[in-house]
Structure 1
Amino acid sequence: MGIPVYFKNIINNYNDILIQQDLFNIKINNLFFDLNCLIHPCCHGLTDEQEMFDNIYNNMIKIINIINPKDLIYIAIDGVCPRSKIEQQKYRRFRSANEHKLWDTNAISPGTKFMNDLNIFLKNKSYPIKTIFSDSSKAGEGEHKIMQYLKLNNNNDINIVHGLDADLIMLSLIKNNNIYLLRERTEYNIEGLNSEYVYLDINLLKKYLVKDIKKGFVKLSKQNIINDYIFLCFFIGNDFIHNTPCINIRYGGLDNLLKIYNLLQEEHAGIFYLIHNNKLDLPNFKKLIHKLSLEENKLLENILNIRSNQHKKFKNIYHDIYHSYFNNECLDKYNIYDKEYERDFMNHIPIIDRRNEIKIFNDLDINWNRRYYMFQINNHHNYNPSYDDILEIQINDICKNYLESFIWTTNYYFEDCLSWKWFYKYHFAPSVKDFNNYLLNINDLNIIEMDNVPLKSIEQLRLILPEKSFNLLPKNVKKYPDYYYPKSFKTNYIMKRYYWEGHPILPEIII
């Protein structure tokens, strides 16, 4: 899940959910590897692929020896993903295409020779107990493979899952299994942790979340509260849903959503749910969006004030390079003194260069949403009422696709993949006001055509690889026309905090 600061937030709020390795004395039944979390760091800085393979296996054995599982080792590697995830993989690979690398990390993708060789290597190695291996030739993200297995084997076993991103936390919260997430301490960057590995107690996290949300008047079951919490987290942005401008986790977005959610609970005598029987409840979803739409301008104003203060701070920090940048002067001279200086400056660009942001949101009472769409669609802010007919058609399509993203993601997390071909086509979310207006006429959520056939790994490679990585394609495979693989492209970073959070604007490949 693409929630950059989510993990930091929950650790700050509930710091005792982390258990140090030397204090963890629970006997473990099953150990699960979301192996891509291990593959990437084990390959970092190396160029010899056999050395990478050995490094991956040796680190696995090290973890197995520490955990000492009694019953099962389950190794899951990312296979072909749903198209919605493939789009995110494409953006990340294009964004990093010009970075200097000793070895092309895009080789860590299903269907490459590297991954095929790694599958064979790991299958031929020995493991101390029963081992299930779901390699990259089997469709599905690693964490979803693990969760599907746990869903079918729900018992009292104690399970360790190696790998910890926000997505894995959310998926684990859905399950009724006993789950601890394991990760290297260095991944957390938290003071006071001394052991090499730490464990995140999912059941304890559930307990704290329910206590904070329930507030004495919510009458839903504990799991229903957790499910609603997970759904609310969709709004702050993940790999499949863009956050709308007024909701940003860096500016209190999740807290604001929970306040609205609790107001709705009070209005419904504590029996208000967004997820019911693992499905999105449309009437209650409409009520949530309506309340959020009433707060949209106020929330935006608060965010813009914070960003204005951040702008002043970083303008002063980078005062010399700031003026050169705004005067379109060459920045190379700064590299002579400190190569990190310009990189740091560029990383803060969304907060330093707010010219487009200010033109869009300079008057929240008059047509800001129209200026927002004009910029996002046409790259200018010159709204004119004569555009309204065309703009309304475009907004309607954006809102429809945005609703689909909530439906698809709900199914993907709580059930299974509704469609392997569906994806969100836009690089931005609609305004909440427009989304609310669109929902007024919606009475049915069966709007996505089901498709249970994954793409082939070759098709995924053709979709995600930038031109510099074409050598990873099998020789007999043709790429799409050059138009779909631009060497340079614009990045949408409106209302983002860091440049790396921006969304590359790339041509849509229709297959």
Structure 2
Amino acid sequence: MGIPTFYRWLLDRYPRSIVYVKEESPKVVNGEEVPIDITGPNPNAIEFDNLYLDLNGIIHPCFHPEDRPPPSSYDEVYKAIFKYIDHIFSLIRPRKLLFIAIDGVAPRAKMNQQRSRRYRTARDAADAAAMAEKSKDEYGTACEKLVPEDKIKKMDSNVITPGTEFMASLSVALQYYIRLRLNTDPGWRGIKVILSDANVPGEGEHKVAAYIRDQRNLPGFDPNTRHCLYGLDADLIMLALATHEIHFSVLREVIVFRGKQNENRDRDGNMKRSAVQNSKIKEAKEEDFDFIKRIRFQFVHIWILREYLDFELRIPEASMKTNLERLIDDFVFMCLFVGNDFLPHIPTLEITEGAIDLLIKVYKKEFNKMGGYLTNSCEVDLGRVEHFLQALGSHEAAILRRRLQVKWEKDTLFGKDACETGGDDGMGWMDGPDKPKLVSKDMSQKVLSNAERKEDKARTVEEGWKERYYCEKFDVDTPNDRTKLKDHAVQKYVEGICWFMHYYYQGICSWQWFYPYYYAPFSSDFTNLKNLDISFTMGKPFKPFDQLLGVLPAASAYALPLSYRKLMTDTSSSIIDFYPQDFALDLNGKRFFWQAVCKLPFINESRLLREIESLEHTLTDEERKRNAFSLDSLFFHISHRMAPKVISFYEEKKDSQKLTRAKLKQKINPKLSDGMNGFAYISDKTIQLSEIYSPIDGMETIKDNQTIFVYYKGPPMHPHIPKVPEGTELPKKLISMKDVRQAPPLWHEKRPAYLPSHRPTSNAIAGDRRFYGNNHREVQKVNNWQNRNQPRLYSRQGENTVKKDEILGKRNRKGEKRH
């Protein structure tokens, strides 16, 4: 889930839930490195049952690395992915299941975000090429130092989208890799492997969550199953909490947060993994995969995070006995307002401004008045949500005043260029007249007085700030139009929060629904929610080629069949307006362009599908296969306990005509499958091939193949039970009240501060480098300025010591008024 800086907040507030992964070093015998025996005990003293890989988090750094030369072919990408999986597998050592999940077609609500990212990627590539061309014209060969050629020629990562040739060949490569490991590696011999590739609809992490939900509370399910889910996205932590599984860990690379390079940040605002690596990694050769071994990893232990939340979410003087599981569900729900992949965040809620602390504080304060919990599994109590959002709305004016003050302080003390905003800061709709420019050092006292006057002036512009916001961001002018638009945006946003909870706790309730605006309403505008009619139509997912047309820019049209490309590139196309050559970017208060809102036209689904329908007959057999949906693939070694029953079923049915025309299903016995329920689907193309040829140059052919392959489908969907399963052995408590850090003062309620300390006082989030990176001279300049001009807390006057409250405006002991 797109929750910017959430992991940094988590690290600061709940540090003991995050633990470094212990790694076993390979032994060297007679000068040769001996592979690690992954059949041995896990060095982390945790024996995991199931490992789930959100593989898109591995595909991207292998496809377009920042720390080594880019791959020159897909085969190099596949080999790097194999090495990455090998390394993670050796760290976790699952004993029952490896689940490899790749993003398939996404719900429409997610496609809008995917479209923005892919257009931004194409724009960045075009800008780099233009810069290189300009440099060549002006400086000749010297431009290579400015824009390295390999940065420009690296492959287009937009092909990491369902339906492309790359994703189809990746699936084939992974099927070969899984069989190779099951045949040759003893550590894989006893496990099952599920591959959910790009032809299986759904986002990778949600396929994993659906698998876990569907297995719980069924015959044979082990409530003490130990899960480990790999991935960088913050939504993995939320999904893990939403499962209500106790023995759950999220695995992610160690991230270095501080740094000044724009290009070294990921979509969450954290430093990218590539920026963590040392100089030796940057010198790696194309075929050198040792960089993977040098990556450090961390666990987020969900059972410890739950302990922290148990203390954090305790309601003082609650009118009812509270339930931790319900409180955790409400925490997941509240966090959607600061960021997710489907809705823009509420405009006054930023984690770097203490938004999560504000949400928790308001929730605890209003819990009794609301009448209890905001949610019940996937159900949302809109009456209580309205009360909660109105309470949040009471803080909006103060937050906006604080932002104006902070912005003015930056602009005044160091000039707009020093703030690294790169353009409009998103507060233009709020600002009044022009603000003072950079002032000299000897004017610091004048700055103080101006700051006080500016704070007062911010109060005078308070009236009408909502109107200016809707005029600026939603492009409406008249009061009547603003009211209609605001009401519609509230309706769609409330639909969105209900859709979100259903998606996280029960599964997709509509493939077609999406939020049709770039920005969110203010929390104080959420009124009369009880009377809203909230309903969804399930619909069906886009086909892969439909999604490609919905998310790719025209620059990546080559990834589609020839007849489809013309819809994106031909000026006579009836939907050419979906593919603008240029588009607006709104920084919306952010610092970097990669954080900006991409103002792209929303795809009209009916128009798009109508044009596609007339082209499907032009597809080749190979293209039809890429454009079709599939089931998950299940692999296991012939020595697995499941093998005899599957083989006997195949032998019984192999002469049947039905087997050649369709897949026949067999119910999986959970006693033989280590507690896994569902169905195995068998066709004439499944079971056991004698030889498996390598689809990758330089890799061996698998002879005398000992693996079995069938298709897999989970058990029928049943209501998710959002509580800890009976029979769960609770781990020993590790957190006590002394481990819980006191919540910092609310950001917008603190007294005026100057630049380095205007953010929350958090070691993980704040810090002087927030604005200056490694420019220590600028930091020192601000610190010196503060030391000269801020009031001293204690001042000697003869024998008397003047206290802080006396200095800040009250009378001193001599009865004189202090100013």
Same fold (TM over 0.5): yes
Matched, 1:229 2:331: yes
Q: Contact between 2:377 and 2:505, CA under 8 Å: does it hold in 1?
A: no
Q: Contact between 2:342 and 2:496, CA under 8 Å: does it hold in 1?
A: yes
Q: Contact between 2:121 and 2:158, CA under 8 Å: does it hold in 1?
A: no
Q: Is the alpha carbon distance of 1:397 and 1:122 closer, same or farther for their aligned partners in structure 2, counting shifts above 3 Å?
A: same
- Alpha-carbon offset, residue 473 of structure 1: 1.1
- Alpha-carbon offset, residue 11 of structure 1: 0.5
Q: Is the alpha carbon distance of 1:396 and 1:195 closer, same or farther for their aligned partners in structure 2, counting shifts above 3 Å?
A: closer
- What CA deviation, in whole Å up to 9, does each residue of 1:443-479 have, x standing for no partner? 35x5232214111111110011112111111223243
Matched letter for residue 443 of structure 1: N
- Alpha-carbon offset, residue 282 of structure 1: 1.4
* Match of residue 52 from structure 2: 32
Q: Is the alpha carbon distance of 1:258 and 1:307 closer, same or farther for their aligned partners in structure 2, counting shifts above 3 Å?
A: farther
Give, in whole Å, the separation in 2 of the partners of 1:412 and 1:36: 20
* Match of residue 443 from structure 1: 531
Give, in whole Å, the separation in 2 of the partners of 1:355 and 1:258: 30
Describe how 1:362-373 pairs up with structure 2 within 5 A.
363-373=460-470
Out of 397, 401, 406, the position equivalent to 2:497 is: 406
Q: Is the alpha carbon distance of 1:27 and 1:461 closer, same or farther for their aligned partners in structure 2, counting shifts above 3 Å?
A: same
Q: Contact between 1:350 and 1:498, CA under 8 Å: does it hold in 2?
A: no
Q: Contact between 2:502 and 2:509, CA under 8 Å: does it hold in 1?
A: yes
Q: Contact between 1:491 and 1:502, CA under 8 Å: does it hold in 2?
A: yes
- What CA deviation, in whole Å up to 9, does each residue of 1:10-57 have, x standing for no partner? 001122212222262211111111100111111122231011011111
* Match of residue 431 from structure 2: 358
Q: Contact between 1:357 and 1:495, CA under 8 Å: does it hold in 2?
A: no
Q: Contact between 2:122 and 2:553, CA under 8 Å: does it hold in 1?
A: yes
Q: Which runs of 5+ in 2 are unaligned?
A: 23-42, 65-69, 126-151, 182-187, 217-222, 259-270, 277-293, 434-457, 569-574, 606-819
* Match of residue 251 from structure 2: 182
- Alpha-carbon offset, residue 137 of structure 1: 0.2
Q: Is the alpha carbon distance of 1:213 and 1:453 closer, same or farther for their aligned partners in structure 2, counting shifts above 3 Å?
A: same
* Match of residue 334 from structure 1: none
Matched, 1:135 2:155: no
Matched, 1:80 2:105: yes
Q: Is the alpha carbon distance of 1:313 and 1:105 closer, same or farther for their aligned partners in structure 2, counting shifts above 3 Å?
A: farther
- What CA deviation, in whole Å up to 9, does each residue of 1:196-254 have, x standing for no partner? 22211011111102211215545321111111111110111211121222222121111
Between 1:139-148 and 1:288-297, the stretch displaced more is 288-297
Q: Contact between 1:356 and 1:494, CA under 8 Å: does it hold in 2?
A: no
Give, in whole Å, the separation in 1 of the partners of 2:346 and 2:557: 35
Please state whether the residue corresponding to 2:298 is helix, strand or coil.
Answer: strand
- Alpha-carbon offset, residue 278 of structure 1: 2.7
Matched, 1:169 2:237: yes
Q: Which runs of 5+ in 1 are unaligned?
A: 323-344
- What CA deviation, in whole Å up to 9, does each residue of 1:162-186 have, x standing for no partner? 1131111101011122211112224
Aligned pair count reads 470
Structure 1 vs Structure 2 CA RMSD: 2.4
Q: Is the alpha carbon distance of 1:447 and 1:214 closer, same or farther for their aligned partners in structure 2, counting shifts above 3 Å?
A: same
Matched, 1:264 2:397: no
- Alpha-carbon offset, residue 281 of structure 1: 0.9
* Match of residue 20 from structure 2: 20
Q: Is the alpha carbon distance of 1:221 and 1:292 closer, same or farther for their aligned partners in structure 2, counting shifts above 3 Å?
A: same
* Match of residue 123 from structure 1: 175
* Match of residue 73 from structure 2: 48
Q: Is the alpha carbon distance of 1:277 and 1:160 closer, same or farther for their aligned partners in structure 2, counting shifts above 3 Å?
A: closer
- What CA deviation, in whole Å up to 9, does each residue of 1:347-379 have, x standing for no partner? 54354x854552598855322111111111328
Give, in whole Å, the separation in 2 of the partners of 1:311 and 1:243: 26
Q: Contact between 1:79 and 1:110, CA under 8 Å: does it hold in 2?
A: yes
- What CA deviation, in whole Å up to 9, does each residue of 1:268-313 have, x standing for no partner? 6xx6101114311112111112222233212322233233334446
Matched letter for residue 11 of structure 1: L
Q: Is the alpha carbon distance of 1:139 and 1:362 closer, same or farther for their aligned partners in structure 2, counting shifts above 3 Å?
A: farther
Describe how 1:59-458 pairs up with structure 2 within 5 A.
59-100=84-125, 101=152, 102-125=154-177, 126=179, 127=181, 128=188, 129-154=191-216, 155-177=223-245, 178-186=247-255, 196-218=296-318, 219-267=321-369, 272-312=372-412, 315=415, 318=417, 345=420, 348-351=422-425, 355-358=428-431, 363-378=460-475, 387-436=478-527, 438-439=528-529, 442-444=530-532, 446-458=533-545
Q: Contact between 1:246 and 1:303, CA under 8 Å: does it hold in 2?
A: no
Give, in whole Å, the separation in 2 of the partners of 1:412 and 1:306: 38
Give, in whole Å, the separation in 2 of the partners of 1:204 and 1:180: 10
Q: Is the alpha carbon distance of 1:238 and 1:497 closer, same or farther for their aligned partners in structure 2, counting shifts above 3 Å?
A: farther
Give, in whole Å, the separation in 1 of the partners of 2:316 and 2:251: 33
Please state whether the residue corresponding to 1:25 is helix, strand or coil.
Answer: coil
Give, in whole Å, the separation in 2 of the partners of 1:211 and 1:172: 19
Give, in whole Å, the separation in 1 of the partners of 2:212 and 2:540: 23
Q: Contact between 1:93 and 1:465, CA under 8 Å: does it hold in 2?
A: yes
Please state whether the residue corresponding to 1:246 is helix, strand or coil.
Answer: coil
Matched letter for residue 63 of structure 2: C
Q: Is the alpha carbon distance of 1:497 and 1:57 closer, same or farther for their aligned partners in structure 2, counting shifts above 3 Å?
A: same
- Alpha-carbon offset, residue 491 of structure 1: 1.6
TM-score by length of 1: 0.86
Give, in whole Å, the separation in 1 of the partners of 2:226 and 2:460: 55
Please state whether the residue corresponding to 2:241 is helix, strand or coil.
Answer: helix
Out of 543, 546, 552, the position equivalent to 1:459 is: 546
Please state whether the residue corresponding to 1:40 is helix, strand or coil.
Answer: helix
Q: Which has the larger radius of gyration?
A: 2
Q: Contact between 1:21 and 1:195, CA under 8 Å: does it hold in 2?
A: no
TM-score by length of 2: 0.55
Give, in whole Å, the separation in 2 of the partners of 1:16 and 1:432: 33
Q: Contact between 1:33 and 1:163, CA under 8 Å: does it hold in 2?
A: yes
- Alpha-carbon offset, residue 195 of structure 1: 7.4
* Match of residue 492 from structure 1: 586
Give, in whole Å, the separation in 2 of the partners of 1:216 and 1:195: 43
Give, in whole Å, the separation in 2 of the partners of 1:157 and 1:182: 16
Give, in whole Å, the separation in 2 of the partners of 1:312 and 1:414: 48
Q: Is the alpha carbon distance of 1:107 and 1:406 closer, same or farther for their aligned partners in structure 2, counting shifts above 3 Å?
A: same
Q: Is the alpha carbon distance of 1:106 and 1:363 closer, same or farther for their aligned partners in structure 2, counting shifts above 3 Å?
A: farther
Please state whether the residue corresponding to 1:61 is helix, strand or coil.
Answer: helix
Q: Contact between 1:90 and 1:465, CA under 8 Å: does it hold in 2?
A: yes
Identity of aligned residues (%): 30
Q: Contact between 1:3 and 1:166, CA under 8 Å: does it hold in 2?
A: yes
- What CA deviation, in whole Å up to 9, does each residue of 1:303-335 have, x standing for no partner? 33233334446626x36xx9xxxxxxxxxxxxx
Q: Contact between 1:20 and 1:195, CA under 8 Å: does it hold in 2?
A: no
Between 1:230-239 and 1:289-298, the stretch displaced more is 289-298
Q: Contact between 1:350 and 1:497, CA under 8 Å: does it hold in 2?
A: no
Q: Is the alpha carbon distance of 1:210 and 1:306 closer, same or farther for their aligned partners in structure 2, counting shifts above 3 Å?
A: farther
Q: Contact between 2:401 and 2:459, CA under 8 Å: does it hold in 1?
A: no
Please state whether the residue corresponding to 1:358 is helix, strand or coil.
Answer: coil
Q: Contact between 2:111 and 2:550, CA under 8 Å: does it hold in 1?
A: yes
Q: Contact between 2:9 and 2:351, CA under 8 Å: does it hold in 1?
A: no
Give, in whole Å, the separation in 1 of the partners of 2:424 and 2:236: 28
* Match of residue 10 from structure 1: 10
Matched letter for residue 109 of structure 1: T
Q: Contact between 2:171 and 2:197, CA under 8 Å: does it hold in 1?
A: yes
